[in-house]
Structure 1
Amino acid sequence: MSEIKPNDKGSSEESAEEQDWAAAKAAFDNLKSNKPRPPKPKNAVTIAVSSRTLFNMKAERKIFEEEGLEKYVAFQQEHENEPLKPGPAFPFVKALMNVNTQLRELYPDNEELFDIVLMTNNHAQVGVRLINSINHYGMLRRDLTIERFCMTGGKSPIGYLKAYLTNLYLSKSADKVIQAIDEGIAAATMFTPDTEQELSNTQLRVAFDGDAVLFSDESEIIVKQHGLDTFFEHEKHFENKPLAQGPLKCFLEALGKLQRKFYAKNERLNCPIRTFLVTARSAASSGARVLKTLRSWGLEIDEALFLAGAPKGPLLQKIRPHIFFDDQMFHIEGATELGTISAHVPYGIGQKYHKGKLIEQPEKKE
């Protein structure tokens, strides 16, 4: 059966309307062919970000806390055509887009890409402003389309993270991050730096602490409970025994998977992903076990920086990562003061200490 077109009069000559119809259909078909399909979640590296990490919603949050939910939603609707300002995760997400651009150039049909999910407990009525803000900053484009939203209407979104096959969750809520880590998902609480730094537009730069971030907190437990001398002896004795994995090991693994896509095309030197280990460990006394652990996992780190207890902030200021992960707020504070976008990983024994002092834990109610 022949296709029925509008105003088909059976004439052999095409009318102006028929020509318009054909042109519109051709343009639509061309659009479909030029826009790659979003990657299947099972193949992608999925990053879930909250609306308050992607955008600066400090003023809106104040309305919510002081005037309540209804006033907050009304404010968002009244200002839905005003784009929100970038938040702490914004440069990180833009860097992910740039990696995707380069991956698509090498592998046009590749589905091993970064995929962003906006994971928020906002109400659906706020969604229009979030979508308009994403559009304003060009985040709905062929390199990486933020098409997957999860708006839970005031309820915690943590229960959806596994369903979205999340590789990393970033939030401003420490409670939600702790819940995510308890569910076995790499997660961190984001902090906005005190000053802005110019970051790379061509390379994603990710810096990790070691113990209680990439690795378990077993070594930190020894330091806190028995001191440095016992720690050094322990590390030397167990130098050839790999450390247990920490909460962000799986994210480093996901980054390595994408890095190898570039290596396979002889693009190691031009790889747009660069990873850094920035640890307070000493290289001579406790560094070998760290490097041997990474080797046993089949993982690479581009730069390993052992500071032997020196402050991390000045070095991170030189690295200029799009995100820095650490389990101790002491290091997070020092990094943000000098302009580094930082993310706290609330994991392990370090959460009981601040600036080396034991924090009194509230007694649990029976």
Structure 2
Amino acid sequence: MASKVLQRVNERLLEENPAEHQLFDIILITTDSWQQQQSFSIINSTRRHGLEVSRFCFSKEEDFIESLMQNNVQLFLTTDGNEALQATQQGVPSALLDKNSASCPSEQLRVLFCEDAIIQPHAGSTAASQKSAQSFLAQLGQIRQKFGMFNSPVCFTLVTSRGGKDSCCSTLKSLRALGVSVDEAYCLGGAPRGPILSLLRPHLLLSDGFGQLDG
């Protein structure tokens, strides 16, 4: 579960520096009417499972973007591509959660950058969302830099599926310009990326909102 892994990153950051302030702040937002009726049970359930959720937001479906704005959400995590697109269009960067990541437990936060998400402008991307996305990427890079090469609680992986090694190198340079150094890079040269994704099993797939980087 992504929230558990994010908590582990926070724990490791505090182990490195008890005064660390650059921590993940987890907010649970739901638009499901049934879940809202069970709000007390949901809150108790998260605590029972040891999930450190700082805030709970029970919003109407038509108001969930406003909830993101009011809570100053810097990255919206969802398994729903339509919700991700709506958030992106309003300038809130989004990432898709791997629905199956819970079946492959790991104490390391695995973040996957896809070529399509990084190089190609997305139809739903806006200047605001791209600027916010790049700001968040820079913050992720800063967090990764707080740890050494080995035994880090965060792992960045880049997968490029077209353009060959030149495209891969260009993307790596663009990421490094933002202070993001990847731990692994795969240049597929036109091969389908499904098989490698099934092996990598990332917690976060950075897609909508992470439009064209300046390289």
- TM-score norm. by structure 2 comes to 0.79
Q: What amino acid is the match of 1:125?
A: Q
1:128 aligns with 2:40: yes
| Alpha-carbon distance in structure 2 between the residues aligned to 1:160 and 1:153 | 9
SS at match of 1:269: coil
Q: Which residue of 1 aligns with 2:49?
A: 137
Q: Which residue of 2 aligns with 1:184?
A: 91
Greater relative contact order structure (CA < 8 Å, 6+ sep): 2
Residue by residue over 1:307-352, the C-alpha shift from the partner in whole angstroms, topping out at 9 and shown as x without a partner, is 01112222223323223345xxxxxxxxxxxxxxxxxx3888xxxx
Shift of 1:192: 2.7
Which residue among 153, 167, 172 is the counterpart of 1:272? 153
Q: Which residue of 1 aligns with 2:127?
A: none
| Alpha-carbon distance in structure 2 between the residues aligned to 1:268 and 1:122 | 41
* Alignment map for 1:344-359 (pairs within 5 Å): 345=208
Q: Which residue of 1 aligns with 2:174?
A: 293
Shift of 1:136: 2.3
Q: What amino acid is the match of 2:170?
A: R
Q: Which residue of 1 aligns with 2:29?
A: 119
Shift of 1:249: 3.8
Residue by residue over 1:94-113, the C-alpha shift from the partner in whole angstroms, topping out at 9 and shown as x without a partner, is 11011111111111122211
1:215 aligns with 2:119: yes
How many corresponding residue pairs?
Answer: 202
SS at match of 1:192: coil
| Alpha-carbon distance in structure 1 between the residues aligned to 2:198 and 2:98 | 15
Is the 8 Å Cα contact of residues 118 and 146 (structure 1) preserved in structure 2? yes
* Alignment map for 1:1-366 (pairs within 5 Å): 91-122=1-32, 124-139=36-51, 145-190=52-97, 192-193=99-100, 197-201=103-107, 203-211=108-116, 213-217=117-121, 248-262=133-147, 267-326=148-207, 345=208
RMSD (Å) for aligned C-alpha atoms: 2.8
Residue by residue over 1:222-241, the C-alpha shift from the partner in whole angstroms, topping out at 9 and shown as x without a partner, is xxxxxxxxxxxxxxxxxxxx
| Alpha-carbon distance in structure 2 between the residues aligned to 1:252 and 1:92 | 17
Shift of 1:161: 1.5
SS at match of 1:159: helix
Cα distance change of structure 1 residues 132 and 196 upon mapping to structure 2, 3 Å threshold: closer
Q: Which runs of 5+ in 2 are unaligned?
A: 123-129
Cα distance change of structure 1 residues 279 and 250 upon mapping to structure 2, 3 Å threshold: farther
SS at match of 2:158: strand
Q: What amino acid is the match of 2:26?
A: I
| Alpha-carbon distance in structure 2 between the residues aligned to 1:319 and 1:173 | 20
Is the 8 Å Cα contact of residues 133 and 210 (structure 2) preserved in structure 1? no
| Alpha-carbon distance in structure 1 between the residues aligned to 2:186 and 2:131 | 18
Cα distance change of structure 1 residues 246 and 282 upon mapping to structure 2, 3 Å threshold: farther
| Alpha-carbon distance in structure 1 between the residues aligned to 2:61 and 2:92 | 21
Cα distance change of structure 1 residues 110 and 278 upon mapping to structure 2, 3 Å threshold: same
| Alpha-carbon distance in structure 2 between the residues aligned to 1:321 and 1:190 | 8
Q: What amino acid is the match of 1:288?
A: C
- TM-score norm. by structure 1 comes to 0.49
Q: What amino acid is the match of 2:198?
A: Q
Percent identical pairs in the alignment equals: 34
Is the 8 Å Cα contact of residues 174 and 346 (structure 1) preserved in structure 2? no
Q: What amino acid is the match of 1:157?
A: F
SS at match of 1:200: coil
Q: Which runs of 5+ in 1 are unaligned?
A: 1-90, 140-144, 219-244, 327-344, 349-366
Shift of 1:165: 2.0
Shift of 1:178: 1.8
Cα distance change of structure 1 residues 204 and 165 upon mapping to structure 2, 3 Å threshold: same
Shift of 1:122: 4.0
| Alpha-carbon distance in structure 2 between the residues aligned to 1:308 and 1:269 | 28
